[in-house]
Amino acid sequence: MSWLSKWSNEEIAYVVSASARSVSWDKMARNFNRKFDTTVSGNTLKKLYRVLTENNTYTQEEVDFIHKCHHNLMTEKQTVMAYSEVFGKPLDRKRWKGLLVSTPSKEIQEIVKSQKENKNKEVKNMKRSKYTKEEIKQIKACRSAKEARVLAQSFGRNPPAVERQWYIVRNKPKSNSKKEKQMRTVTAKLLKAGLSNNNGYSKKQRELLGLDYWPPRRFDMESKIGDKITKKDAEKFVALKNAHIKNMGTRKKRSESKYLDVETVNRSIVVEPKKSKKVFWTDEEDFDILCNFYELSIDEAREKFNKSYAEIAGRLEYIVDSTEPRHHSMLIEASKVINKRKAKSAKPSKPSRKERRKARKEARLQKRLDKIKKQLRRD
């Protein structure tokens, strides 16, 4: 059931007559709803009128003409121009699409079918085998791609394919087997061989691997594993192992780094961890830290305890987190001392808004009472 069939003949006649009298669509909708007892908008009546007045029928000649243009690879612009010249009327995009969708005559269908079959035969008859040595020699001898396209008929191949082969043969790079043999890949073994006794690399060694910046960054030498350098550069990299270290004879050799492994290289410079010294604290110092740590500045805390600020802060954290009973009792005593100190230094708090309002009311009442007492005395 189509949308147009929902409308009665009386409704359609009313819309057509009202539009002929050039009544606005909103006014037409109000009158329409009053007459037929419906709830229709002006846009709906406008759509109904457009469907009734549109002419969607196309002649077979127009359909065939559009299909011929389409199969001859004409663009939309070219088709519109040709249509207006042949039929003497304009063609919009919507009408062009409608003509293209509609079915053409049997003659044009047969022509399209034959064209497709011929194309399929051409594709099947094409050679898909590899080019012979004689064919490649002939393609190489051509000076341009146009000359190569001429050879396509003698080869029994597609001209674009022969042209593509000419570009491939012309731009084929020469083998660099000698250069490849002289190249060496950067490995963990090579980095370990060039590592100095101080567990580092010189600027010249880094330049050989393509690292021109200074100071060195973390893991930059390890990132070069897998890259290729020349044989001479690899030998020079190993030869410059300790060239940057002065007075090698007088200095003691450090032990070999355990971090620089052949399989996994962790870092270019290894720093040995410092051994931490034990620091002894008395109970008085512990109690003093709990009571006065937040009152002292960094410099005052260093002078008072004669230790670094990190050690003092670490001791405070240790006492707070400790589960020992003496530390627990020390925390309770320290909290009492701090609370007393706060109570002494605490300023008297201002009365709240409610309290101030209450005080004002009491003052007003007292003033009235005083006034009444004065009047009674006079009497």
- Token pair 């400790």 in the structure block, residue: 322
CA-CA distance, 80 to 42, in Å (whole number)?
34
Neighbour-count burial of 271, counting CB atoms closer than 10 A to its CB (0-12 exposed, 13-18 middle, 19+ buried):
exposed
pLDDT digits over 157-188, tens only?
A: 888 888 888 888 876 555 555 555 578 888 88
**Residue 202: which residues within 8 A CB-CB, separation 6 or more?**
196, 240, 243, 244
Instruction: Say which range, 58-62, 253-257, 359-363, has the weakest mean pLDDT.
Output: 253-257
pLDDT computed for residue 141 by the predictor: 87
pLDDT computed for residue 266 by the predictor: 45
Give residue 77's region: left, alpha or beta (phi > 0; psi -120 to 50).
Answer: alpha
Compute CA distances 158 → 51, 114, 120, 123, whole Å. 52, 21, 13, 9
The answer, yes or no, to whether residue 367 has pLDDT greater than 50, is yes
Of the candidates 110, 64, 103, the residue with the CA atom closest to the CA atom of residue 83: 64
Give 183's strand partners: 230
CA count, 13 A, side-chain hemisphere, 134: 3
Average pLDDT of span 53-62: 70
Decide: 235 and 227 in contact? Cβ < 8 Å: no
With cut-offs at 50, 70 and 90, classify the pLDDT of residue 262. very low
Cis status of the peptide bond prior to 215, with omega within 30 of 0: yes
Most confident residue range from 58-62, 116-120, 227-231, 274-278: 227-231
**Residue 352: which residues within 8 A CB-CB, separation 6 or more?**
none
Decide: 203 and 173 in contact? Cβ < 8 Å: no
With cut-offs at 50, 70 and 90, classify the pLDDT of residue 30. very high
What the block records as the tokens of 292 is: 């006065």
Decide: 264 and 208 in contact? Cβ < 8 Å: no
Torsion sign across C-alpha atoms 13, 17, 22, 28: negative
The answer, yes or no, to whether residue 363 has pLDDT greater than 90, is yes
pLDDT digits over 279-327, tens only?
A: 678 888 888 888 888 888 888 888 888 888 888 888 888 888 888 888 8
pLDDT computed for residue 125 by the predictor: 56
What the block records as the tokens of 309 is: 């600020």
The answer, yes or no, to whether residue 256 has pLDDT greater than 60, is no
Compute CA distances 63 → 99, 234, 259, 265, whole Å. 5, 77, 82, 76
- Token pair 């500045």 in the structure block, residue: 297
